[in-house]
Chain A
Amino acid sequence: MANYTEDELAEELKNQEYKFGFVSDIDTDTIPIGLNEDIVRLISSKKEEPEWLLDYRLNALELWSTMNEPSWAHVKYKKPDFQAIAYYSAPKQTKKYESWDDVDPEMKATMTKLGISMEEQQRLTGVAVDFVMDSVSVATSFKEKLGELGIIFCSFSEAVQNHPELVKKYMGTVIPTQDNYYAALNAAVFTDGSFCYIPKGVRCPMELSTYFRINAGGTGQFERTLVIADEGSYVSYLEGCTAPQRDENQLHAAVVELIALENAEIKYSTVQNWYPGDKNGLGGIFNFVTKRGICEKNAKISWTQVETGSAVTWKYPSCILKGDNSVGEFYSVAVTNNYQQADTGTKMIHLGKNTTSTIISKGISAGKSQNSYRGLVQIHKNAHNARNFSQCDSLLMSSECGAHTFPYIECKNSSAKIEHEATTSKIGEDQLFYCKQRGISEEKAIGLIVNGYCKEVLNQLPMEFAVEAQKLLTISLEGSVG
């Protein structure tokens, strides 16, 4: 890791425009814009869903229509017009691909631009990729190898068809439909996503990975991910996002549910790089995501996120520590530049005895951006000997940006130990000067300093993600010291 990417960075830094801002010219099958019961029925029928799932969606739609958009987050944006969004868009391809050769070359080119060509992925990294493009999975690899171990890793739609009992049993158990406005919206109109099941006692031998991407103009994307780690199993799941450049705002409202049964462990890592809008704050993705996991006895869930993209981010990957001795972790780097706004953090809900949670949050604000950490540590009355350690650091790159910390602690058990540390610092002119005096350019110096600042979090990422994340941090902050 020590000698990672310096030269590659220089190349990338030459190109300041958003690297992934291109549009693929693929025919898409988009249903009319707007949201009502007919649309929900249409989505469900296009996906040939069972009756119970249609009912689930319709119930969600009804709940959603009675709810209000949350306004407590420290973000300002123009509310999306939910009737102006197309809720379904699938690449126009009726037949399933028999092999990789059958995949539309245009689509392959898109993936190549994203730097995640299937062949490369398969050959070099051993990562099984479930590539989601405009709501429908087009390629899944390593399925056979995983299948031998009884691991199910497929698109959410396939899971609905092939493993309905698992989906029905666990879907919505961690994040109920009425949980919040966007979770309800997702439950009504979600189009696809990923599903993963690790059987009892199985240690998943490879990192599971999904790449999401918004493609067709004007379509929102509502992904749904469900990861179930059965007793004594282990899985590391990677999620990465890029999106093409657009002037109109696009809405992304995903739901991710993690279920770690007794003695199981789930590691969920995200590098998020949705289009953040241009330097004047025009365009960019609204990222309103609900992510939560539940830990049974002795289970562990670890969230790691590197957030550099989106115009507005609203995201709190959380852990419900239900079982005794369960462990929740949250490691986060959130970068905002120009006019980006992020309100992100976590909730650690301690229900069981001897439960432990760790929160390490590193916020980096540049330009005129606003970056907020919002966290809740909740110790319930039966959570004897619960422990929490929180560390929230903010780094300011300019004099016009904002960093905010909103830590909430609710403790109903006197045996709990809760520690909270917070720091705010401005990137040091002395550090920059020191680097430059050794011959290092300002951009590289910022890259070094910022990556050093985030090291505790980056160290949690699997290797290939850590390298990508380091590059992203530097690219996101190019020319931002002021």
Chain B
Amino acid sequence: MITIKNLHASIEGKPILKGLNLTVNAGEVHAIMGPNGAGKSTLASILAGREEYEITAGEIDFDGEDLLDLSVEERAREGLFLAFQYPVEIPGVSNVNFLRTAINEIREHKGEKAMSAKEFMALVRDKSALVELDSKLASRSVNEGFSGGEKKRNEIFQMAMLNPKLAILDETDSGLDIDALRIVANGVNQLKTDQNATIIITHYQRLLDYIIPDFVHVLYDGRIVKTAGKELALELEEKGYDWIKENKVN
């Protein structure tokens, strides 16, 4: 699905990623954990195509294409989805208008016909139930006046609507109470197939109680320094990141 090789990236001349390697296959769930400042959100931003980062070395293959050659919207249309850590408000634009525009842009890109209003509304009903999102929120302006939990659920709702190949969840668990966390996790689990993949970026282990990852990676100082199964998350929770830092020094 995605292969990242020796990725180096910097912002305003300051190196953040320093030789990151990661391979994610279809059907897999990967968790990327790490202390603050390790480069977790930088990785998410670079995959989505934020322009303020400079890629100084490395390559990213996304389903046979050079990801770094694609524009932000091309990546999205090819099936890369980012659930934002801080979802953006767009006053006056309804969630449904926003999503219908997005869906039809993606369909047009694939050479498919625009989705009919009827089909679209059925999809909205179906997918909003998945994340227990009040159907009223679907017709409200994008994220405007949403609570923190509603914004995060809205991200997963959008993900469900757009049905991406690769979803990257950037700190989706931050600011969620246990109930919201369960709902979000439940949504992600239900969307999982053997055709798609998920990268969960998180600081804490608790989301991984609900979404069981196939792999857990520790990102530290711009590189993945440790990879193991789901038990690694528990170990990190217990020992903290200092343990990794010490290990790395040793």
A-side residues, CB < 8 A to B, are 2-3, 6-7, 428, 430-431, 433-442, 444, 448-449, 451-456
Q: List 21 A-B contacts (CB under 8 A).
A: A2-B96, A2-B97, A3-B97, A7-B104, A433-B48, A434-B87, A436-B72, A436-B73, A437-B48, A437-B75, A438-B98, A438-B162, A439-B76, A439-B105, A439-B109, A440-B101, A441-B105, A444-B101, A444-B105, A455-B91, A456-B92
* B158 near A438: Cβ-Cβ < 8 Å: yes
Residues of A within 8 Å of B230, CB to CB, are none
Q: Which of B76, B92, B162 contacts A451, CB < 8 Å? A: B92
Of B77, B84, B92, which contacts A439 at CB under 8 A? B77
Residues of B within 8 A of A441 (CB): 73, 105
Q: B101 touching A6 by the CB < 8 A rule? A: yes
Q: Tell me whether chain B's interface is mostly helix, strand or loop, or mixed.
A: helix
Within B149-164, which residues are at the interface with A (CB < 8 Å)? 158, 162
Report, nearest first, the 9 A-B pairs whose CB atoms are least far apart: A452-B92, A455-B92, A452-B93, A439-B76, A438-B102, A434-B88, A436-B72, A439-B106, A436-B73
A6 to B81, CA, bound (A): 22
B117 within 8 A of A: yes
Known: A7-B104, A433-B50, A453-B91. A440 touches B97 (CB 8 A): no
Q: Which residues on A sit within 8 Å (CB–CB) of B105? A: 439-441, 444
Number of residue pairs spanning A and B whose beta carbons lie under 8 angstroms apart: 89
Does B84 lie within 8 Å of A451, measured CB to CB? Answer: no
Most buried by A among B48, B73, B94, B99: B73
| Chain A residues within an 8 Å CB radius of B158 | 438
User: From B77, which residue of chain A is reached at the shortest CB distance?
Assistant: A439
Using Cβ atoms and an 8 Å threshold, which residues of chain B touch A437? 48-49, 72-73, 75-76, 81-82, 84
In whole Å, how far is B93's beta carbon from the nearest beta carbon of chain A?
Answer: 4
Determine how close the nearest CB of chain B comes to the CB of A284; give it in whole angstroms: 29
Q: Look across to chain B and name the residue whose beta carbon is closest to the beta carbon of A453.
A: B92
List the B side residues contacting A6 at CB < 8 Å.
100-101, 104
- Known contacts: A438-B98, A444-B101. The answer to whether A454 contacts B92 by CB under 8 A is yes
Q: A2-B94, A434-B88 are in contact. Are A439 and B102 (CB under 8 A)?
A: yes
Contact-residue bracket for chain B: 35 or more
Q: Is the CB of A448 within 8 A of B141?
A: no
Q: Which residues of B contact A449 (CB under 8 A)?
A: 90, 93
Q: Assess whether B114 is interfacial by the CB under 8 Å rule.
A: yes
Q: Which residues of A contact B50 (CB under 8 A)?
A: 433
Chain A residue numbers with a CB within 8 Å of B90 are 431, 434-435, 448-449, 452
- Given known A431-B88, A437-B72, contact A451–B101 (CB-CB < 8 A): no
Known: A433-B48, A437-B76, A440-B98. 11 other contacts (CB 8 A): A2-B97, A6-B100, A7-B114, A430-B88, A433-B72, A436-B72, A437-B84, A439-B73, A439-B105, A444-B101, A448-B90
Question: Which of chain A's residues have a CB closer than 8 A to the CB of B81?
Answer: 437
Cα distance A451–B92 in the bound complex, in angstroms:
7
Residue with the greatest number of chain B CB neighbours at <10 A, chosen from A440, A453, A456: A440
Bound state CA distance, A441 and B90, in angstroms?
16
**Contact indicator per residue, chain B 51-94, by CB within 8 Å of chain A (1) or not (0):** 00000000000000000000111011100011010011111111
**In the bound complex, how far is the Cα of B6 from the Cα of A206, in angstroms?**
67
Whether A448 contacts B101 by the Cβ 8 Å rule is yes
A444 and B109 alpha carbons, distance in the complex (Å): 14
Contacts of B100 in A (CB 8 A): 2-3, 6
Min CB gap B173→A, angstroms: 20
A455→B140 CA distance, assembly (Å)? 13
Residue in A closest to B75 when the chains form the complex, CB atoms: A437
- Show the binding face of B for A, using Cβ within 8 Å: 48-50, 71-73, 75-77, 81-82, 84, 87-94, 96-106, 109, 114, 117, 139, 141, 158, 162
In the complex, which residue of chain A has the Cβ closest to the Cβ of B89?
A431
Task: Kindly provide the distance from the CB of A449 to the nearest chain B CB, expressed in whole angstroms.
Answer: 6
| Residue ID in chain B nearest A449 by CB atoms | B90
A145 to B215, CA, bound (A): 74
Q: Considering the chains assembled together, what is the distance between the CA atoms of A104 and B48 in angstroms?
A: 57
Chain A contacts for B92, CB-based, 8 A: 451-456
- Tell me, rounded to whole Å, the shortest Cβ–Cβ distance linking A343 to chain B: 25
Contact A440 B87 (CB under 8 A): no
Assess the A448–B98 pair: CB atoms within 8 A. yes
Residues in B neighbouring A430, C-beta threshold 8 A:
88
Residues of A within 8 A of B48 (CB): 433, 437
CB-nearest residue of chain A relative to B86? A430
B175 to chain A, nearest CB (A): 18
Bound: A438/B155 CA distance, A: 11
A24 to B117 Cα, complex, angstroms: 40
Contact in complex: B141, A452 (CB < 8 Å):
yes
Decide if A3 touches B91 in the complex (CB within 8 Å). Answer: no
Q: Knowing A7-B114, A439-B102, A439-B105, say if A448 contacts B73 (CB, 8 Å).
A: no
- In the assembly, what is the distance between CA of A433 and CA of B101, in Å? 15
CA of A433 to CA of B109, assembled, Å: 18
> How many angstroms from the CA of A374 to the CA of B91 in the assembled complex?
25
Nearest-CB residue, chain B, relative to A450: B92
Does the CB pair A452–B73 fall under 8 Å?
no
- Is B76 in contact with A436, judged by CB distance below 8 angstroms? yes
Contact B96 A428 (CB under 8 A): no
Bound-complex Cα distance A299 to B76 (A): 53
Shortest CB–CB separation between residue A224 and chain B, in angstroms? 36
* Complexed CA–CA distance, A454 and B81 (Å): 29
Chain A residues within 8 Å of B101, by CB = 6, 440, 444, 448
Q: Do A438 and B91 touch (CB < 8 A)?
A: no
Residue ID in chain A nearest B96 by CB atoms: A2
A residues near B96, Cβ cutoff 8 Å: 2-3
Contact between chains at B76 and A448 (CB < 8 Å): no
Contacts of A2 in B (CB 8 A): 94, 96-97, 100, 139
Task: Tell me, rounded to whole Å, the shortest Cβ–Cβ distance linking B89 to chain A.
Answer: 8
Residues of A within 8 A of B106 (CB): 439
Partner of B84, one of A434, A452, A453: A434
B109's closest neighbor in chain A, by CB? A439
Q: How far is the CB of A481 from chain B (nearest CB, A)?
A: 13
Assembled-state Cα–Cα distance A451/B97 (Å): 11
Known: A2-B100, A6-B101. A440 touches B73 (CB 8 A): yes
Closest to A9 in B: B101
Beta-carbon contact of B88 and A438 below 8 Å: no
A435 to B93: give the CA distance in the assembly, Å: 11
**Residues of A contacting B104 in the complex (Cβ-Cβ under 8 angstroms):** 6-7
A2 to B139, CA, bound (A): 9
CB contacts (< 8 Å) of B76 on chain A: these are: 436-439
Shortest B228–chain A CB gap in Å is 30
